Amino acid sequence: LEVIEGVEPRIAEATRNELADQRGSLKLIASENYASPAVLMTMGTWFSDKYAEGTVGHRFYAGCQNVDTVESIAAEHARELFGAEYAYVQPHSGIDANLVAFWSILAHRVEGPWLEKASAKNVNDLTEEDWEALRRELGNQRLLGMSLDAGGHLTHGFRPNISGKMFHQNQYGTDPETGLLDYGALAAKAREFKPLVLVAGYSAYPRRVNFAKVREIADEVGATLMVDMAHFAGLVAGKVFTGDEDPVPHAHVVTTTTHKSLRGPRGGMVLATEEYAPSVDRGCPMVLGGPLSHVMAAKAVALAEARQDSFRSYAQKVADNAKSLAEGFSKRDANLVTGGTDNHLVLLDVSSFGLTGRQAESALLDAGVVTNRNSVPRDPNGAWYTSGIRLGTPALTTRGFGHDEFDAVAELIVKVLSNTQPGTTKAGDPSKASYTLADGVADKVKAASAEM
Ligand code: PLP
């Protein structure tokens, strides 16, 4: 930090403040974690200065031998850890990984057969007429994914996202009574819609998914099954999700982030079967430019960590702690979507406290509890104000929290929410954003969490 201080002191100060904030609050954002010092230090090296467009052994730049080493090791760890046939470690983020996956599926299923029909080696060989026809065909494909309010991600076909614009999209949800994924309804929708890509995976669904069943549905309608395991990759790596709950043996293509429950650097990754590997390997130049070599190096370090036995026990604790947190809420009469959890997150419906997600998120932040507001299924408050709070256990489990601490966290959260009153707008109407937290509660909660 002294080095940074000498160049731009405000950045040094913000960095110090960020450390204090991350260590001094209860970090319950389900997609965040604390990467190890080894991972953080690996990101801060001169690999950042190297360009390496292309793929291992086939670069558009000279002098990439060390990047080749780093990328190969990261991919090898990923293949071994997840039992995947192929791993692509270049994507800079989860969104990039999903874009690489979409375009790889389109390349394999649409462009490849088209080129074959036109007896062309690649798109540069096509006549202008064929090229236009191929572009129309690529833009005419269908994607079916889980809706945002059921717990899916923006990139799973949400209209404002590119995934909802580049595909004809359709969405599946959860059962209105139970909040659980309804495989029968999913199959019916898939039969009717006939997607080229069926996306499974979620950001805010507190339950496990049976990927074997979803693969059966994909096979029945001729879809490619893409699973986005960004949120629960750590539970797959740590063998908490096995058999039908492990997406890797069942999906054609699996995408993930590396920074959430997997506890690595910020980044993305694509795993694929041998069949899809050649098109995924063309991620650069298809979708990406130069890879972040320093981050690929940090991915290799994080994946090596995730292959250790200690990571398995960490992953199991993440899931056990989520159950403790859910039980802590249930016994204090707080309302959870699906009634509980069997992964790393819980979704608390805060409407029974008379609050929106936005009010609850802000009041909790005042008390040093960092969460994020989230839609609940069929949310009357929409995606901005929401009616829910999403809470995850990966970060505080890294800090060593166990059953008792998570029970105490539930108690503190209920204390804040039951001491928060919704506010009004300037015109005196009910507000979805303003709130009043009773005097003294924030300080008491902060003091209690500092003891943990
Ligand atoms: N996929 C899922 C399921 C996610 O939850 C997220 C991030 O929240 C992403 C993809 C996107 O990841 P990133 O923010 O790294 O682009």
Report CA(7)–ligand 1 centroid distance (Å): 33
Distance between CA atoms of residues 109 and 255, nearest Å: 18
Report CA(418)–ligand 1 centroid distance (Å): 31
Distance between CA atoms of residues 329 and 339, nearest Å: 10
Distance between CA atoms of residues 377 and 59, nearest Å: 46
ipTM associated with this complex: 0.99
Distance between CA atoms of residues 296 and 78, nearest Å: 11
What is the identity of the amino acid at 111? E
Q: What is the pLDDT of residue 115?
A: 94
Residue 199, beta-bridge partner list: 226
pLDDT tens string 72-104: 999 999 999 999 999 999 999 999 999 999 999
Distance between CA atoms of residues 435 and 356, nearest Å: 10
Query: Closest residue (by CA) to atom 9 of ligand 1?
Result: 94
Report CA(94)–ligand 1 centroid distance (Å): 5
Distance between CA atoms of residues 358 and 364, nearest Å: 10
Which two tokens mark 390? 């999403």
Report CA(438)–ligand 1 centroid distance (Å): 35
Instruction: Find out whether the beta carbon of 201 lies less than 6 Å from any atom of ligand 1.
Output: yes
Ligand 1 nearest atom to the CA of residue 201, by list position: 3
Radius of gyration in angstroms for the set of CA atoms belonging to the chain, rounded to a whole number: 23
DSSP state at residue 154: G
User: What are the angstrom distances between the C-alpha of 319 and each of 237, 346, 395?
Assistant: 13, 11, 12
Low-confidence ranges of the chain (pLDDT < 70): none
Query: Closest residue (by CA) to atom 12 of ligand 1?
Result: 94
Instruction: Find out whether the beta carbon of 260 lies less than 6 Å from any atom of ligand 1.
Output: no
Distance between CA atoms of residues 386 and 397, nearest Å: 27
Q: What is the pLDDT of residue 426?
A: 86
Q: Which residues are catalytic?
A: 51, 53, 228, 257, 260, 266
Which two tokens mark 108? 């394999």
Report CA(257)–ligand 1 centroid distance (Å): 6
Quick one: 93 exposed, middle or buried, by C-beta within 10 A (0-12, 13-18, 19+)?
Answer: middle
pLDDT tens string 272-319: 999 999 999 999 999 999 999 999 999 999 999 999 999 999 999 999
Instruction: Find out whether the beta carbon of 267 lies less than 6 Å from any atom of ligand 1.
Output: no
Pick from 92, 158, 203, 205 the residue to mutate for probing ligand 1's pocket: most ligand atoms within 8 Å of its CB: 203
Instruction: Find out whether the beta carbon of 93 lies less than 6 Å from any atom of ligand 1.
Output: yes
Instruction: Find out whether the beta carbon of 431 lies less than 6 Å from any atom of ligand 1.
Output: no
Instruction: Find out whether the beta carbon of 94 lies less than 6 Å from any atom of ligand 1.
Output: yes
Q: Is 107 helix (H, G, I), strand (E, B) or coil?
A: helix
